[in-house]
Amino acid sequence: MTGDTLLERATRSEHAGENRCIPCTVLNLAITAVVAVVVGVAVPIAGIVLFVVAVAAIWLRGSLVPGTPRLTKCSLPDRMPERFETSSESTPTSTAELEIDQYLREIGVVLEDPVVDDLVLEPTFERAWRRECAAVDGRNADRDGLAELVGIPPSELEIRRHGTAFVAVVDGERIGQWESRSAFVADVASARVLEDRVESWNELPLGRRSEALGALRLFLEWCPTCGGTVSFEQAILEACCHRYDVLAATCGECDDRVLEIGV
207: left (phi over 0), alpha (psi -120 to 50) or beta: alpha
Say how far apart CA 135 and CA 166 lie, in whole Å.
Answer: 19
Instruction: Summarize pLDDT for 129-148 with one digit per residue, the tens.
Output: 999 999 887 655 678 878 87
What is the DSSP-derived secondary structure letter of residue 246?
E
Structural contact between residues 180 and 164, judged by C-beta atoms closer than 8 angstroms:
yes
Q: Which residues neighbour 231 within 8 Å (Cβ) at sequence distance 6 or greater?
A: 249, 250, 252
pTM over 0.75: no
CA of 116: how far to CAs of 5, 131, 232, in Å?
59, 25, 16
- Domain borders along the chain are 6-88, 94-213
CB atoms near residue 112 (< 10 Å)? 10
Instruction: Summarize pLDDT for 178-231 with one digit per residue, the tens.
Output: 889 999 999 999 999 999 999 989 888 888 888 899 999 999 999 999 999 999
Give pLDDT, residue 210: 87
pLDDT per residue as tens, the chain (263 positions) = 444 554 555 555 555 555 667 777 777 788 888 888 888 888 889 888 888 888 887 777 766 666 555 555 555 555 444 444 443 343 344 445 558 888 999 999 999 988 888 899 999 999 999 999 998 876 556 788 788 777 788 888 888 887 788 888 888 788 888 889 999 999 999 999 999 999 989 888 888 888 899 999 999 999 999 999 999 887 665 555 556 677 889 999 999 999 888 76
